[in-house]
Amino acid sequence: MAAGSTKPGAKPGQKGGLAHRVKTAPKKSEAKTLKRKRGQEDLGKLQTAVDQLDPKSTDIKNFTDLPLCDATATGLRASHFEVLTDVQRAAIPLALKGNDVLGAAKTGSGKTLAFLVPVLEKLYRARWTEYDGLGALIISPTRELAVQIFDVLRKIGRNHYFSAGLVIGGRSLKEEAERLGRMNILVCTPGRMLQHLDQTAGFDVNNLQILVLDEADRIMDMGFQSAVDALVDHLPRTRQTLLFSATQSKRVSDLARLSLKDPEYVSAHEAAASATPTNLQQSYIVTPLAEKLDTLWGFLRTNLKSKIIVFLSSGKQVRFVFESFKRMQPGISLLHLHGRQKQVARMEITSRFSSAKFACLFATDVVARGVDFPAVDWVVQADCPEDADTYIHRVGRTARYESNGRAVLFLEPSEEQGFLKRLEHKKVPIQKVNVREAKKKSIKNELQSYCFQSADLKYLGQKAFISYTRSIHLQKDKEVFKFSELDLDGFAESLGLAGTPQIKFQKGEDIKRLKNASRAAASSGSESDSDGDGPKRKKDQVRTKYEKMAERQNQDVLSSHYRKLLDDADPAAASDDEADFLSVKRVLVDDAALDAAAGSTSAKATTEPRIVKLGATSELVIDSNRREKLLKSKKKLLKYMDKGSKLVFDDEGNAHPVYELQDEDEFALQGPAGELRRKFVDAEAEKVREADVDDKAHAKERRREKRERQKAREREEMEGMEEEDGEGPQLKDADDGEDPLALLRSLPVAGESVDEEEREPPKKKARKWFEDEESGEEGVSRNKMKKGGKRVIEMAAEPDTLEDLEALAAGLLED
Ligand code: ADP
Ligand code: MG
């Protein structure tokens, strides 16, 4: 089925412009027309090949067997992708033909390419240019995964001219907003994207051609429900939609929410004996909660020459285990990752772990899904996952594509039976193993001494204890998680704590709801913080004596951070203070109270409060020396005096106040006040709504016109340049003399407002732009720092804001 796949050396057909005008010498224009024709022919051929493609054909084995444009084909080849994986073979042809696709395939089976290739092709065949705005939107549940998808897109899309961006939060909305307008492809997390759709003026998604949800079941589940529904509301209904996950939901309600049209269900491994990769070896260990850390320590000590991910249930668990094991120096480098870390730190840690040969990463479920760390030997689930799907995704971090991997799950005796049943139901083959007694070592005493030495560590231990027990308590699946059967005292002791923290849970807490609440509360960036840190402290919640102790003792940076978290979590207390503050002031107005107060607080020795008349109507209470002094200055008194009121005169020359009150009886006749008010509000709201619709339509029309104009201008420009420049895609290497950031500069940088009308259309070559967040930073273009002649990171001469520094750091780390 090689028909239509473009021959090497063929010109990309993208330049077949619609708005064609003869501008230069006839000879030139002839050449142009010829070339355009050829481009159109290529595009036509490609389209025919796609139309004729049989999606069920068994002949499709390699990427070269697919009707792909030259740019995609060469991009894939250069990235060393040749043979299609099962899911790619099943899904790409259907997606190329414009179908909505629901794709399910095991972890590590190549789902990313299964949607990225159709995305590139769709936009290419639609002759998408930057002036067409957003053409494709790819949604990922976590930032880590979004970054990774973006990297793959950049790799295989290197020969395309599209602009692509990453919208994952972690920096200011404004900075991101400035670069959104011209993006063709965006990879995003749902909450952040929604923020832009709601708040970024001029960001138009009405042209969207294709929507992709990676890890779709996660995005469609409760945690993201409202964000995704609102987001989809913004998108046009006529679009292609692709959903991918290793654990796909076929729920009709989900499909309806996305308004899929006759979706094709592609399940590459439905008939497979197991839901997990065949080259993955899975086992479990039964270890009582009180010995879990001992077992984990023993495991690490016997696997020093490995790359390991250890999944824990919350960010607090992660921090404690990381900090305490670090002190004990296991002999393997330790890293930790959870949702509450700063974005830059998260990126640095993921890239360090990716490139490490031997290392152990303690992580929450932020990296449970989709993230493709190369060559992971072991996935350890020290805390039992909340359900079998999470289990499948976690173990999927190893044994990716064709490599091998091993996974081990720690189960508390009370969890064993219940969870094994869940796994069996999901077709997960797992076998029991025992820890060798000789390798067991209790680290309780060491931890205790570290906790004794360091108040910070002790505090983390307490938090870890609380967050773990709480997470067990809140788990939905009571057949697996049995709170009452846990040995809490033993657990506290095993963390090195001198006593068991007292805990008290409120009834009716629901883990999903709480997780979502904290997600919503922590604004934009934290949507991927699925680390189960749970809710912030409730006001009436019992504080343990350990917490109080820690608040008192830990006077350094770490504890102040925690205290801040606690403080933030208690807005009620703040508002109480405020109420007190206000009521004190108000008491003074009441004369009787004043007298009483004066009588009882004579000890205060202030002047006795009295009331002074100012002008005709105003009065001033004199209750302090400061007020007494006021009386001496007429100028200062002006502030307290009646300013007079504005009057309007009617035709007869009678004065009326500007807002005249209606006669009360007359008003009462019109109906109940509440109803009248509602009517009035409704009427006004209706007016506003109407005006808004008009305004929006008007603005949209203007934007469209502007775009058309720019597009036309750009085409002219392009046609002019083609003659001089030759053609073909320009690689972004710095050594071909091309400035990869040319387009970037044509965009307004912060603080500098460029009218869209005045903006020069970017030059042709610059239209190829795969930029990520970091290199699209504010303060671009002054000093150039060349690294190895390849990458150019541009920054303001002196990075002066924290964001600048972060961006620079992230940029450097990326290499
Ligand atoms: P999934 O999303 O299904 O978990 P990914 O798309 O992350 O899997 O791919 C897993 C790994 O397989 C990646 O490292 C990717 O580079 C590799 N891969 C994907 N498709 C191919 C292919 N056709 N040929 C070779 N390697 C591939
Ligand atoms: Mg994936």
Q: How confident is the model at residue 612 (pLDDT cuts 50, 70, 90)?
A: confident
Q: Is residue 564 predicted with pLDDT exceeding 70?
A: no
Q: Is residue 676 predicted with pLDDT exceeding 80?
A: yes
Assigned domain for 375 exists:
yes
Tokens at residue 443, please?
Answer: 């680290």
Question: In terms of C-beta density within 10 A (0-12 exposed, 13-18 middle, 19 or more buried), how is residue 325 classed?
Answer: buried
CA distances from 534 to 326, 477, 782 (A): 25, 17, 45
pLDDT tens-digit map of 684-697:
999 988 888 888 88
607 or 572, greater pLDDT: 607
Q: Which residue's structure tokens are 């303060």?
A: 779
Q: Is residue 417 predicted with pLDDT exceeding 70?
A: yes
Torsion sign over Cα 274, 276, 277, 282: negative
For range 308-333, the mean pLDDT: 97
**DSSP state for residue 3 in the 8-state scheme:** T
Closest CA to ligand 1's atom 18: 110
Mutate to test the pocket of ligand 1, among 65, 81, 151, 155 (most ligand atoms within 8 A of CB): 81
533 or 185, greater pLDDT: 185
Instruction: For residue 769, report the phi and psi dihedrals to the nearest 5 degrees.
Output: -150, 105
Alpha carbon of 110 to ligand 1 centroid (Å): 3
What CATH number is attached to the domain comprising 76?
3.40.50.300
pLDDT tens-digit map of 335-382:
999 999 999 999 999 999 999 999 999 999 999 999 999 999 999 999
Q: How confident is the model at residue 302 (pLDDT cuts 50, 70, 90)?
A: very high
467 or 173, greater pLDDT: 467
Residue 771's pLDDT is what? 43
Q: Is residue 584 predicted with pLDDT exceeding 70?
A: no
Locate the ligand 1 atom nearest the alpha carbon of residue 402 and give its number: 12
Residue 236's pLDDT is what? 93
User: What range defines the domain where residue 306 resides?
Assistant: 280-441
**C-alpha closest to that of 326 among 302, 362, 276:** 362
Residue 806's pLDDT is what? 59
Q: How confident is the model at residue 569 (pLDDT cuts 50, 70, 90)?
A: very low
Top-confidence range, 21-25, 651-655, 720-724, 748-752: 651-655
Closest listed ligand to the CA of 400: 1
Q: Is residue 433 predicted with pLDDT exceeding 80?
A: yes
Residue 583's pLDDT is what? 31
Q: Alpha helix locations (H) across 411-570?
A: 413-425, 444-453, 455-474, 488-494, 511-521, 545-553, 557-568
Residue that terminates a domain, selected from 267, 295, 315: 267
User: Rounded to whole angstroms, how far apart are CA atoms 717 and 694?
Assistant: 34
Assigned domain for 627 exists:
no
- Tell me the one-letter amino acid at 547: E
Residues 165 and 89 in one domain: yes
Assigned domain for 555 exists:
no
CA distances from 623 to 591, 597, 609, 627 (A): 12, 11, 4, 7
Closest listed ligand to the CA of 104: 1
Assigned domain for 602 exists:
no
Would you call 381 helix, strand, or coil by DSSP? strand
Residues 251 and 289 in one domain: no
For range 576-599, the mean pLDDT: 38
Residue that terminates a domain, selected from 441, 474, 503: 441
Q: How confident is the model at residue 199 (pLDDT cuts 50, 70, 90)?
A: confident
Residues 90 and 132 in one domain: yes
Tokens at residue 462, please?
Answer: 């307490």
Residue 803's pLDDT is what? 57
Instruction: For residue 382, report the phi and psi dihedrals to the nearest 5 degrees.
Output: -70, -35
624 or 534, greater pLDDT: 624
Q: Is residue 466 predicted with pLDDT exceeding 60?
A: yes
For range 196-210, the mean pLDDT: 89
Question: In terms of C-beta density within 10 A (0-12 exposed, 13-18 middle, 19 or more buried), how is residue 640 classed?
Answer: middle
For range 747-752, the mean pLDDT: 32
Alpha carbon of 156 to ligand 1 centroid (Å): 12
Tokens at residue 722, please?
Answer: 């083609």
Closest listed ligand to the CA of 397: 1
Q: How confident is the model at residue 297 (pLDDT cuts 50, 70, 90)?
A: very high
Q: How confident is the model at residue 552 (pLDDT cuts 50, 70, 90)?
A: low
**C-alpha closest to that of 529 among 346, 268, 733:** 346
Residues 311 and 436 in one domain: yes
Give the least confident one: 218-232, 475-489, 602-616, 648-662: 602-616
Locate the ligand 1 atom nearest the alpha carbon of residue 87 and give its number: 3
Assigned domain for 610 exists:
no
Top-confidence range, 595-604, 618-627, 729-738: 618-627
Assigned domain for 250 exists:
yes
For range 87-97, the mean pLDDT: 97
Mean of pLDDT over the chain: 77
Residues 220 and 297 in one domain: no
Instruction: For residue 98, report the phi and psi dihedrals to the nearest 5 degrees.
Output: 95, 5
Q: How confident is the model at residue 619 (pLDDT cuts 50, 70, 90)?
A: confident
Q: Which residue's structure tokens are 């010109």?
A: 11
Assigned domain for 188 exists:
yes
39 or 116, greater pLDDT: 116
Closest CA to ligand 1's atom 23: 84
For range 479-483, the mean pLDDT: 95
Alpha carbon of 371 to ligand 2 centroid (Å): 7
437 or 91, greater pLDDT: 91
Residue 673's pLDDT is what? 84
Q: Which residue's structure tokens are 């081990």?
A: 408
Tokens at residue 692, please?
Answer: 């808004």
- Pocket around ligand 1: residues whose beta carbon is below 6 Å from it? 81, 83-85, 88, 105, 107-113, 370, 372, 400-401
Q: List, in order, residues 6 or more apart from 635 with CB less than 8 Å away.
A: none
160 or 598, greater pLDDT: 160
Residue 549's pLDDT is what? 58
Question: In terms of C-beta density within 10 A (0-12 exposed, 13-18 middle, 19 or more buried), how is residue 561 classed?
Answer: exposed
Q: Is residue 398 predicted with pLDDT exceeding 80?
A: yes
Q: How confident is the model at residue 608 (pLDDT cuts 50, 70, 90)?
A: low
Share of the chain above pLDDT 90, in %: 49
Alpha carbon of 31 to ligand 2 centroid (Å): 45
Q: Is residue 668 predicted with pLDDT exceeding 90?
A: no
| DSSP codes, 209-227 | -EEEEETHHHHHSGGGHHH
- pTM (2 d.p.): 0.66
**DSSP state for residue 282 in the 8-state scheme:** E
User: Rounded to whole angstroms, how far apart are CA atoms 422 and 114?
Assistant: 29
User: Rounded to whole angstroms, how far apart are CA atoms 762 and 197?
Assistant: 25
Torsion sign over Cα 293, 297, 299, 305: positive
Residue that terminates a domain, selected from 385, 412, 441: 441
Residue 313's pLDDT is what? 96
The number of domains in the chain is 3
Would you call 26 helix, strand, or coil by DSSP? helix
pLDDT tens-digit map of 778-811:
333 333 333 333 344 444 444 455 555 555 555 5
205 or 787, greater pLDDT: 205
Residues 301 and 177 in one domain: no
Give the per-residue SS3 of 566-601. Answer: HHHCCHHHHHHHHHHHHHHHHHCCCHHHHHHHHHHC
Q: Is residue 296 predicted with pLDDT exceeding 70?
A: yes
Closest CA to ligand 1's atom 5: 110
Q: Is residue 450 predicted with pLDDT exceeding 90?
A: yes
Residues 294 and 352 in one domain: yes
Residue 305's pLDDT is what? 96
Closest listed ligand to the CA of 145: 2
Residues 223 and 336 in one domain: no
Half-sphere exposure of 442 (CA within 13 A, CB side): 11
Mutate to test the pocket of ligand 1, among 85, 276, 373 (most ligand atoms within 8 A of CB): 85
Alpha carbon of 401 to ligand 2 centroid (Å): 11
Question: In terms of C-beta density within 10 A (0-12 exposed, 13-18 middle, 19 or more buried), how is residue 478 classed?
Answer: exposed
Residues 135 and 64 in one domain: yes
Cβ proximity of 397 and 368 under 8 Å: yes
Residues 238 and 113 in one domain: yes
Residues 375 and 301 in one domain: yes
Residues 259 and 198 in one domain: yes
Q: How confident is the model at residue 432 (pLDDT cuts 50, 70, 90)?
A: very high
For range 563-591, the mean pLDDT: 38
Q: List, in order, residues 6 or more apart from 671 with CB less than 8 Å away.
A: none
The neighbouring-strand residues paired with 405 are 280
- Tell me the one-letter amino acid at 630: L
Give the least confident one: 145-154, 238-247, 385-394, 546-555: 546-555
Cβ proximity of 406 and 279 under 8 Å: no
Assigned domain for 194 exists:
yes
Share of the chain above pLDDT 70, in %: 71
Q: How many residues appear in the chain?
A: 815
